[in-house]
Amino acid sequence: MREQIQLECIVRDLEQSFKNAWSVFADYAYAQMSKGDDSYYEEALQDHVRSIQVRLEFAYEALGLTSLLTAFHTGFEPHREHLTAVYISALGSPYSPSLDYLGTYFRPLQASVPAHQDAGTVAEIQRLERILLGTPKLVKDRGLEPQNEKDVRKAMYDLLIHPYPDTVREIPISKQSKVYKPDIGVPSLKAAVEYKFADSEKELKKALGGIYEDVGGYGGSEDWKTFFAVIYTTEPFLTQAQVDAEFKMSKVDRSWKPLLVVGRGARKKATAN
C-alpha cells in the first residue's frame, strides 16, 4: 500500500511536470516561428526536460525496474544534446522529440495508478494547441492568402477533422440576449477554438475586445471547458507576452488561452465605386 501511494505521488507530480513542459514548449516553438527572442523559453524548456528525466529515472529505480531503466538511458542518449529540438509534424504542428520520448516511458507508470483525471484528454488538448500554433505554416503550405478569419478557420477546420473526426463548426451556445457560436469545436475534448484576423494594430486591439465579449458569452457552458483564442496577424503587431499580460490584467477566465500567430495575408480593401 505504501509503495502504491508513493507511485501515485510520483505520477501526479510527473503529470504536472509534463503539462508545464508542454506549455513552455508551445511558447518556445512560437518564439522560434515568429523569429522572436526564444532564449528564455529555451532555458526553461531545458530545465523542464532534465527535471522530468530525473523524476523518471528515480521512479524506475525506486520500483526496481532495472531493465527498463537501462533501456530508458540508452534510448534517451540521442536526445541529450538536443533537449530543445523542434520538429514539424506531417500536420504542420511543432512537437518536441525529447518530450515525446519521455512521454513514452511515463505512460506505463501513469497506467499503473487510478486515474486522477483524464490524462489522455489533457495530452490531446496540448496536441491541439500545438496544431493551432502551426496555423501560419498550414496557410503557407497550401499557398493561401487569407483575407479574413473565415479563410483561416476554414483551412484549419479542413485539417482538424483528420486528427479529430468529431470536429464541428459554429455550434450555438444560447444565452438570454444572444446566441454565441464558437468557430471550431472538438466535442470529445470539450475544447472550442475562436479565430480572429488582424492586419493592423488597431484591428488586433478590436479583436481582443471581441474575445472579451466571447468569454462572457461562452461562460458556464457544460459542453465547452477549454477555449483557445487564436489571433492570426499579418505582422507582429504585439508579442505573445503582451497579449498574455492583457488577458491577465483583464482577468480573463483561465479556461481561455490566447495564441498569437503571424502569417501571410491581408484584409481585402474596399474598392471605391
Task: Tell me whether residue 124 is in a domain.
Answer: no
Q: What is the pLDDT of residue 74?
A: 92
Task: Tell me whether residue 29 is in a domain.
Answer: yes
CATH number at residue 218: 3.40.1350
The verdict on 105 and 192 lying in the same domain is no
CB 94 within 8 A of CB 134: yes
The verdict on 148 and 108 lying in the same domain is no
Task: Tell me whether residue 129 is in a domain.
Answer: no
The verdict on 89 and 195 lying in the same domain is no
Task: Tell me whether residue 234 is in a domain.
Answer: yes
Task: Tell me whether residue 271 is in a domain.
Answer: no
- How would you class 68 by CB atoms within 10 Å of its CB: exposed for 0-12, middle for 13-18, buried for 19 or more? middle
One pLDDT digit (tens) per residue for the chain, 273 residues = 445 556 777 788 888 888 888 888 877 887 777 776 778 888 899 999 999 999 999 888 888 888 989 999 999 999 988 898 888 776 666 788 999 899 899 888 877 766 554 556 777 888 898 899 999 988 988 899 999 999 999 999 999 998 899 998 876 655 444 556 778 999 888 899 999 999 998 999 888 888 887 777 666 667 788 899 999 999 999 888 888 888 888 778 888 889 999 999 888 765 555
pTM of the model: 0.60
Output the DSSP codes for 99-120: HHHHHHHHHHHHTTS--SS-HH
The verdict on 109 and 180 lying in the same domain is no
Q: What is the pLDDT of residue 180?
A: 61
The verdict on 113 and 139 lying in the same domain is no
- Report d(CA 219, CA 151) in Å as an integer: 27
The verdict on 101 and 167 lying in the same domain is no
- Number of domains comprising the chain: 2
Task: Tell me whether residue 42 is in a domain.
Answer: yes
φ and ψ of 241, to 5 deg:
-65, -40
The verdict on 102 and 167 lying in the same domain is no
Which CA distances in Å does 79 have to 45, 47, 216?
Answer: 13, 14, 44
- 177's grid cell: 440576449
- How would you class 92 by CB atoms within 10 Å of its CB: exposed for 0-12, middle for 13-18, buried for 19 or more? buried
Segments forming the whole domain that contains residue 104:
2-117
The verdict on 88 and 156 lying in the same domain is no
The two beta strands, 173-174 and 94-95, are unpaired
Q: What is the pLDDT of residue 176?
A: 45
Q: What is the pLDDT of residue 87?
A: 85
Question: Last residue of a domain, which of 117, 148, 183?
Answer: 117
The verdict on 53 and 15 lying in the same domain is yes
Q: Is 63 helix (H, G, I), strand (E, B) or coil?
A: coil
Q: What is the pLDDT of residue 219?
A: 64
Q: What is the pLDDT of residue 229?
A: 92
The verdict on 141 and 243 lying in the same domain is yes
The verdict on 200 and 142 lying in the same domain is yes
The verdict on 23 and 96 lying in the same domain is yes
CB 168 within 8 A of CB 127: no
Task: Tell me whether residue 273 is in a domain.
Answer: no
Question: Last residue of a domain, which of 117, 145, 173?
Answer: 117
Task: Tell me whether residue 38 is in a domain.
Answer: yes
